[in-house]
Amino acid sequence: MKRVITNIIQVIIFILIFMIIFIKINDILRVKVHTNDTIGSFYKERSDSIDVIFVGSSHAFSSFSPMELWDDYGITSYNLSTGCQSLPCSYYLMKEAIRTQHPKVVVLETYASYYMTDYISTARVHQAIDCIPLNQTKFEILTDYLSDTMSVHERLEYVFPIALYHSRWKELKKNDIRPKKTYLRGYYTQLHINEQQEIDLSDEVVEVYEKNISYIEKMIHLCEKNDVELIMCQTPIAKNKDYKNICGRMKTIENYAVEQGISYINYDKLRDILKLDYKVDFADSKHLNIIGASKTTSYMGDYLKTHYELADHRNETDYDNWVKDCEFYKKYIHQKKEEMLSQRNQ
């Protein structure tokens, strides 16, 4: 009997050691470039320290800078957007954000309503959800969201990302082993100026993918249940090949949001108020650069301050790291803006 018990204890200890190493190795091997590590860094934020969350695709991470919201309004926010983030992924990230941070406001950028599939590519799904720990949310992702399009085998890659990333061992860098926390808090600095043309505004609607509506519905329920305010918005875009479809699908979502009594900010219609300069503010036809992002962020800050009771944390001692990060950020952005403008003038 004694031997059986020692054997069982030995096996349990082995499994525990194995698990600890397994989690660490998975974390080391996963890709850590901007959009991949946004979510990883998010989990390192002090819990309940963030009041506003942004979710959405690359449009959102190019348009809302948490550091500027902090500097101008003292609002703590985090941008959980990832490249080509599908609406289902936004929903699950929103869920994780509410679980860990209990934010007061969640902002959903609706460009993803343009997508007509469950996801753009499996790599995009990995970028969005790899860092979600093995919890109920992850389980739901695998059983509700991915079960329609992926085999059990493919879904297991999301449980054990090592299956996908293990061959990365040969390209590991220092940042993989001890990843730096991103002080940008999910914002991505677009550093190019690319002259663009204004789009023609229209109220035409284009049909959207059914699943997208159902996940927006889920987001509304989720926020209601947790007493979180939901804002939906569409960030400015410039003329491109398919802009009519993009705007048409987002219009469908806008109409739906208004029907449901959800605040909707259509930045395309606000271009005069924002004084958006299509010659300067864009990095490409779909993404704002840091100059444009300052305008959208600033409008968002005003909107949040007037419509919601959000505390100004700037003088609280718990937020010293925000002050430090912001100083660094301001210097960096200022320098980059000058560089960009002087390059353009040349």
Partner 1 sequence: MLLNSFVFLIFFPIVCILYYIIPYRFRHIFLLIASYYFYMCWNAKYALLMLTSTVITYLSGLLIHRANQIPHESKREKYRKLCVLVSFSLNLAILVFFKYFNFLIETINHILAHMHISLLNVDFDVVLPVGISFYTFQALSYTVDVYRGDIYREKNFLKYALFVSFFPQLVAGPIERSKNLLKQINGKHDFDIHKVHTGLSRMLFGLFQKMVLSDNISVIVTEVYDNHSSYGSLELIFATILFAFQIYCDFGGYSNIAIGAARVMGFELMENFNTPYMADTVADFWRRWHISLTTWFRDYLYIPLGGNRKGRLRKYINIMIVFLTSGLWHGASWHFVAWGGINGIYQIIGDVLRPIRDKMAVWFEVDRKLFSHRIIKVVVTFVLVDISWIFFRADTIGQALAIIKGMCTRIHLGVLLDGSLFRMGIDIKQCMIVLAALVLLILTDICKYIKLDLIEGLCRQGVWLQYMVYLFLIYSVLIFGSYGPAYDASQFIYFQF
Interacting residues with partner 1 (CB under 8 A): 3, 7, 10, 13-14, 17-18, 21, 25, 29, 31, 33-36, 58, 83-84, 121, 123, 126-127, 153-154, 156-157, 162-171, 188, 286-287
* Cα-only R_g, the chain: 21
CA–CA separation, 176 and 160 (whole Å): 17
CB of 117 to partner 1, least distance (A): 16
Residue with Cβ nearer partner 1 (101 or 234): 234
CA–CA separation, 102 and 31 (whole Å): 28
CB of 167 to partner 1, least distance (A): 5
Residue with Cβ nearer partner 1 (19 or 116): 19
Residue with Cβ nearer partner 1 (75 or 164): 164
CB of 221 to partner 1, least distance (A): 30
Residue with Cβ nearer partner 1 (7 or 343): 7
The conformation of residue 199, written as its DSSP 8-state character, comes to P
Instruction: Tell me the CB-side half-sphere exposure of residue 147, using CA atoms within 13 A.
Output: 7
CB of 248 to partner 1, least distance (A): 21
125 Cα distance to chain centroid: 12
CB of 168 to partner 1, least distance (A): 6
Q: Is residue 187 a contact partner of residue 325, using CB atoms and an 8 Å limit?
A: no
Residue with Cβ nearer partner 1 (66 or 83): 83
Strand pairing report for 263-266 and 105-109: unpaired
Kind and range of the H or E element at 263?
A: strand 263-266
Closest CA to 293 of 239, 329, 255: 329
CB of 341 to partner 1, least distance (A): 23
Residue with Cβ nearer partner 1 (29 or 97): 29
CA–CA separation, 322 and 150 (whole Å): 41
